[in-house]
């Protein structure tokens, strides 16, 4: 059992029940136990000897379930680390005994016991640890990132193969999601490639809150919970908002701003053919009004579209669903696809990963260490017993409110900061070469103050991030060795196509193509979206007809095709733009923005891969591969796919380039 420090009591007992002999091997590191909120018990590994005997006795209490002995235990310490420099390993080890508050007694810490010192498996000359404080912490992080990328003073790689840093070599880790999202917004402003990875409570974001408010007033024009949000956004004072939410009459609607009431009427007038399409269209209009755009708004629309399409919700039920998502802290995975970008993620999301450069951000009071994180609604704590953090009340309106009595009682019991220290250790030990700890200079936490000496802290008072342009960005030199370079076992359809498709021209650029593909994908969610050029208009006119005629349509379908050669198996990967299912036929559509047909022979190779994949999944259906040149009003005639033997020859030729 791997990652044994993340197991619960039940999982430990299941391990004993599933094993028929005493030949059990568990692997784990107590220093990386950070999932207590998912019922992980670090004692499973720190007190392994005692617990395995206790659990065997409990399982055998009424009948023999564990027939074997658990007395012989062999402990093997793994001390060699293949990731970080020795300096970072030693620094990370110190974090396990750092006080979390000014008055915490570090002599009583349980985290520091039995710490096995780790030794770096390699010597790293290019390594550094330092702190950064700034009144504008997000901008200061971006400022430092811009200094690192393409800088000859910061190199990574073994001797003789050193290179400058790229954006993708850098990760920013945070204790919670909020700071990462703020950093994403700042990076967008400065045009710095940065991609947030991980789960986000999208229904608690500003765009979702505004959307929910408008849905409430569309459902009930006198909804106080809807109008309070909208009026607060419009600049109303707190006293006015309190009067609105506590007022039981409907007369206040007359005093609301005319502009908001007019906008409400415009939304009401949207034709409602079906809730999922109406909702997608209304959401786009609302987001446009408040200038919300980006990955989160797209994900909100996508989630609501599929929720309403797969259920029989009416508007009232949808509002209740969104409220439940907020209360239950429902998260949705957000992934920004950029080729060379800084990664931003939570510490929990980064566990098991590694990066040449790590920024551990927002090490500020009340943020890291957290004063409570996201504890469960009902919680047991010794000695205060069971307490609840929420209470349902009907006044002033039905809602699940914070139970201040329960929260206060639990807070008086004090916090156990051991897991916060383990989170700190996990974050620091993700770094391979360079490690930066950042905080706001007005409120750094005890972690920041106690880990770093003043001499290693850089003050950035006026950060000025400047992203590398295409002209100034470093160019990497690819060197292929006929002896050392391994044979590739995974190729993309574009590898088969070669450079001919790129050089064929004339074209209209990658940006034009991406925008057209994004437009076509969004059309499946919202048919009201307006085209911005003739190519998009051609796609819309044709695709809207297909939506009415097809049994099912799927967009952006990833596929893998195994191709068996004499001595190995090659995987060909690709992305199908569109699949249209009609009775016994499936159309494969690939959008092209070319102004000529010069690259059709290469596109035939691409469609052959797609054809073989779909044919393998649906052997009884007619598969029709087609190119849709966006300058036309409909797809071209079907392309004849290559044979499997012809495809194998193409793969062999591609492999020969690397041999």
Helices (H) and strands (E) in the chain, counts: 23, 21
Rounded CA-CA distance 422/432 in Å is 18
Structure confidence at residue 160 as a pLDDT band (50, 70, 90): confident
Q: 3-state SS string over 141-189?
A: HHHHHHHHCCCCCCEECCCCCCEECCHHHEEEEECCHHHHHHHHHHHHH
The pLDDT value recorded for residue 255 is 66
Q: For residue 565, which of 641, 649, 488, 492 has the smallest C-alpha distance?
A: 649
pLDDT tens-digit profile of 171-206? 999 998 889 988 988 888 888 999 888 877 888 888
33-47, 225-239, 374-388, 574-588: which range is least confident on average?
Answer: 374-388
Which one, of 187, 205, 206, 204, lies nearest residue 196 by Cα?
A: 187
Q: Say what the pLDDT of residue 511 is.
A: 73
Span of 129-143, 297-311, 628-642 with lowest mean pLDDT: 297-311
Reported pTM: 0.62
User: What is the DSSP track for 3-54?
Assistant: SGGG--HHHHHHHHHH-SSS-------GGG---GGGT--THHHHTHHHHHHH
Q: Is the pLDDT of residue 236 over 80?
A: no
Chain centre to alpha carbon of residue 190: 21
Local confidence band at 467 (pLDDT 50, 70, 90 cut-offs): low
As a whole number, mean pLDDT of residues 383-408 equals: 83
Question: What pLDDT, in 10s, does the model give residues 607-620?
Answer: 999 999 999 888 88
- Tell me: cis bond preceding 506? Omega within 30 of 0 counts: yes
Q: Report pLDDT for 158.
A: 85
Q: Which CA distances in Å does 322 have to 56, 212, 227, 628? A: 45, 8, 17, 39
Closest to 428 (Cα-Cα) out of 130, 117, 41: 130
Tell whether the model's pLDDT for residue 228 goes beyond 50.
Answer: yes
Instruction: Report which listed range, 292-296, 554-558, 584-588, is most confident.
Output: 584-588
Please, which residues have CB within 8 angstroms of residue 533's CB and are 6 or more apart in sequence? none
pLDDT digits (tens, 9 = 90+) for 51-68: 999 999 999 999 999 999
Contact in structure between 195 and 344 (CB atoms under 8 Å): yes
**Do residues 357 and 170 touch, judged by C-beta distance below 8 A?**
yes
| Residue 535, C-beta contacts closer than 8 angstroms, at least 6 positions apart | 516, 593, 630, 631
Residue 91 to residue 439: CA distance in whole angstroms: 18
- Asked whether the predicted pLDDT for residue 378 surpasses 90, the reply is no
- What average pLDDT does the chain have? 84
What digits encode the pLDDT tens for the residues 403-453? Answer: 988 888 877 766 678 889 999 999 999 999 999 999 998 889 999 999 988
Burial 573-584 (b: 16+ CB within 10 A, else e): bbebbbbbebee
432 contacts 125 by C-beta, under 8 angstroms: no
Give the pLDDT mean for 6-11: 95
Residue 338 predicted with pLDDT over 80: no
399/123 Cα distance (integer angstroms): 58
Which residues does residue 178 pair with via DSSP β-bridges, in sequence order?
none
Asked if residue 191 lies in contact with residue 182, where contact means CB atoms within 8 angstroms, the answer is no
Q: What is the pLDDT confidence band of residue 503, given thresholds at 50, 70 and 90? A: very low
pLDDT at 175: 93
Closest Cα to residue 607, out of 585, 624, 622?
Answer: 624
Measured between alpha carbons, how far is 401 from 265 in angstroms, rounded to an integer?
A: 32
Q: Distance of CA 35 to CAs 127, 180, 365, Å? A: 30, 20, 22
| Preceding amide of 383 cis, omega within 30 | yes
Q: What is the Cα–Cα distance from 411 to 425, expressed in whole angstroms?
A: 25
Is residue 83 within 8 A of residue 127, CB to CB? The reply is no
Classify residue 187 as exposed, middle or buried by CB count within 10 Å of its CB (0-12, 13-18, 19+): buried
pLDDT attached to residue 657:
62
In the chain the first and final C-alpha atoms are separated, in Å, by 39
Contact 360, 187 (CB under 8 A): no
Strands 342-346 and 170-174: parallel
Q: What is the pLDDT of residue 502?
A: 44
pLDDT score of 337 more than 70: no
């Amino acid at each position: 059992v791997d990652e044994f420090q993340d197991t619960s009591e039940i999982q430990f007992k299941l391990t004993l029940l599933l094993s028929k002999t005493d030949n059990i091997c568990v692997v784990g590191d107590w220093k990386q136990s950070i999932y207590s909120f998912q019922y992980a018990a670090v004692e499973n590994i720190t007190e392994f000897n005692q617990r395995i005997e206790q659990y065997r006795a409990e399982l055998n209490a009424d009948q023999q379930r564990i027939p074997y002995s658990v007395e012989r235990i062999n402990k093997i310490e793994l001390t060699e680390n293949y990731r970080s420099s020795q300096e970072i390993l030693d620094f990370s080890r110190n974090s396990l005994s750092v006080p979390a508050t000014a008055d915490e007694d570090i002599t009583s810490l349980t985290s520091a016991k039995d710490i096995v010192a780790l030794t770096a498996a390699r010597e790293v000359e290019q390594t550094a640890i330092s702190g950064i404080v700034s009144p504008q912490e997000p901008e200061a992080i971006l400022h430092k990132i811009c200094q690192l990328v393409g800088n000859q003073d910061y190199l990574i790689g073994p001797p003789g193969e050193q290179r400058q840093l790229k954006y993708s070599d850098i990760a920013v880790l945070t204790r919670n999601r909020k700071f990462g999202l703020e950093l994403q917004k700042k990076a967008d402003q400065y045009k710095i490639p940065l991609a947030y990875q991980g789960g986000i409570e999208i229904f608690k974001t500003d765009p979702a809150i505004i959307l929910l408010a408008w849905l409430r007033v569309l459902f009930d024009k006198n909804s106080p919970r809807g109008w309070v949000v909208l009026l607060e956004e419009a600049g109303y004072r707190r006293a006015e908002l309190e009067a609105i939410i506590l007022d039981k009459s409907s007369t206040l609607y007359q005093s609301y701003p005319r502009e908001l009431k007019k906008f409400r009427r415009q939304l009401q007038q949207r034709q409602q053919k079906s809730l999922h399409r109406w909702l997608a269209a209304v959401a786009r209009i609302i987001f446009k009004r408040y200038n919300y755009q980006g990955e989160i708004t797209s994900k909100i629309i996508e989630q609501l579209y599929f929720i309403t399409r797969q259920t029989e919700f009416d508007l009232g039920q949808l509002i209740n669903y969104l409220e439940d998502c907020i209360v239950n802290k429902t998260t949705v995975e957000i992934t920004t696809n950029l080729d060379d970008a800084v990664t931003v993620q939570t510490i929990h999301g980064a566990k098991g990963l590694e990066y040449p450069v790590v920024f551990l951000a927002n090490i500020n009071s009340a943020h890291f260490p957290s004063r409570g994180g996201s504890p469960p609604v009902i919680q047991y704590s010794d000695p205060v017993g069971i307490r609840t953090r929420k209470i349902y009340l009907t006044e002033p309106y039905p809602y699940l409110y914070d139970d201040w009595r329960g929260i206060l009682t639990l807070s008086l019991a004090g916090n156990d900061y051991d897991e916060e220290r383990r989170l700190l250790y996990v974050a620091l030990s993700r770094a391979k070469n360079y490690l930066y700890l950042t905080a706001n200079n007005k409120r750094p936490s005890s972690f920041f103050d106690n880990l770093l000496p003043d001499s290693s802290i850089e003050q950035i008072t006026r950060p000025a991030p400047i992203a590398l342009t295409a002209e100034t960005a470093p160019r990497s030199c690819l060197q292929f060795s006929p002896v050392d370079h391994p044979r590739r076992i995974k190729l993309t359809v574009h590898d088969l196509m070669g450079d001919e498709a790129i050089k064929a021209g004339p074209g209209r650029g990658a940006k034009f193509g991406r925008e057209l593909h994004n437009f076509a994908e969004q059309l499946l969610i919202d048919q009201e979206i307006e085209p911005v050029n003739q190519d998009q208009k051609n796609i819309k006119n044709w695709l809207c007809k297909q939506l009415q005629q097809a049994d099912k349509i799927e967009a952006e379908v990833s596929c893998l095709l195994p191709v068996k050669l004499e001595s190995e198996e090659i995987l060909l990967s690709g992305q199908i733009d569109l699949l249209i299912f009609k009775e016994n036929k499936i159309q494969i559509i690939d959008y092209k923005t070319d102004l000529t047909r010069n690259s059709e022979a290469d596109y035939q190779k691409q469609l052959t891969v797609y054809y073989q994949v779909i044919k393998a999944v649906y052997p009884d259906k007619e598969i029709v591969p087609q190119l849709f040149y966006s300058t036309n009003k409909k797809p071209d005639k079907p392309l004849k796919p290559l044979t499997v033997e012809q495809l194998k020859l193409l793969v062999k030729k591609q492999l020969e380039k690397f041999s």
